[in-house]
Amino acid sequence: MSLKITDQCVNCDVCEPVCPNKAISLGREYYEIAPDLCTECVGHHDEPQCVIVCPVECIIPDPEHPESPDALLAKYARLTG
């Protein structure tokens, strides 16, 4: 499942550089995650790096983009292949 950033985001910018897939960018009002690029960090790290660094805990699973662990691994393979 891709993660998403809620409107609680304070635009602190610390999550953007830690994403191994360059899935995070500044949107119109606050930071956003591109669902087609987020693997929940599967393949790169044991835990979602953006969630670890976010000071306001505003990064949550996106129910509109459900994916199994296998699907996340396949996405990782596609992105890194």
Q: Which of 17, 28, 50, 74 binds ligand SF4 (CB under 6 A)?
A: 50
**To 5 degrees, how large is the angle CA 62–CA 13–CA 78?**
50
Provide the b/e sequence for 22-45 (b: ≥16 CB within 10 Å): ebbeeeeeebebebebbbbbbbee
Find the shortest distance in angstroms from Cβ 70 to ligand SF4: 16
Q: In the set 17, 25, 56, 71, which binds ligand SF4 (CB under 6 A)?
A: 56
> First vs last Cα of the chain: how many Å apart?
20
**5-34 residues near ligand SF4, rule: CB under 6 A:** 5, 9-15, 18-19, 21, 23-24, 31, 33
Smallest distance, ligand SF4 to C-beta of residue 26, A: 8
